Amino acid sequence: MEQTYAILALMENVKKIEGITRLQKVGFLLDIENSMGFDFKKSNYGPFSSRLFEIMETVNKDNLINEEVINLENNRKKYIYEIQPKGLYIFKRMQTIYKKTDTEIKIRGWIEFIKLKKFNKKQLPNLIKYVYTKYPDFAGDFFKKQ
């Protein structure tokens, strides 16, 4: 439940996230600094959490967050995540549960950091560079070759 709260808190603040890569990197920054239990592992494309992916599938299925899929060239897809009214309602309910807890303090600090660094608005290569520079053990092999 704590992880779902973290995702809904992020979405409530940024409203929309463009791309699964951006979502994974921002989620990684939360987890690496606050031990939220997303269990990120190094992959060819950098830090990846199957747990974060599962939560996003669940909140999408429950209509808390909408996942829009845009088909691009070369069989690629772009995912856009946007919080829904039901997601805002659930977030507000959860916010009363977590009010003034260590969890809320960690999540609020993380969100302020994300907003300060403008990670939701930065060009994706700049976000990836930040993550790989700060946490080189998680740098994806795919990007090291470029």
Confidence at residue 143, expressed as pLDDT on a 0 to 100 scale: 60
Dihedral sign from CA coordinates of 13, 15, 21, 24: positive
pTM as predicted: 0.85
- Backbone torsions φ then ψ of 83, nearest 5 degrees: -70, 145
Calpha distance 20→53 (Å, rounded): 9
Could you tell me the residue ranges of all domains in the chain?
2-137
Q: What is the pLDDT of residues 9-59, one digit of tens each?
A: 999 998 899 998 899 999 999 888 878 888 899 988 889 999 999 999 999
For 2-137, CATH number?
1.10.10.10
Among candidate residues 64, 62, 52, the one with its CA nearest the CA of residue 20: 52
Sorting pLDDT into bands at 50, 70 and 90, what band is 96? very high
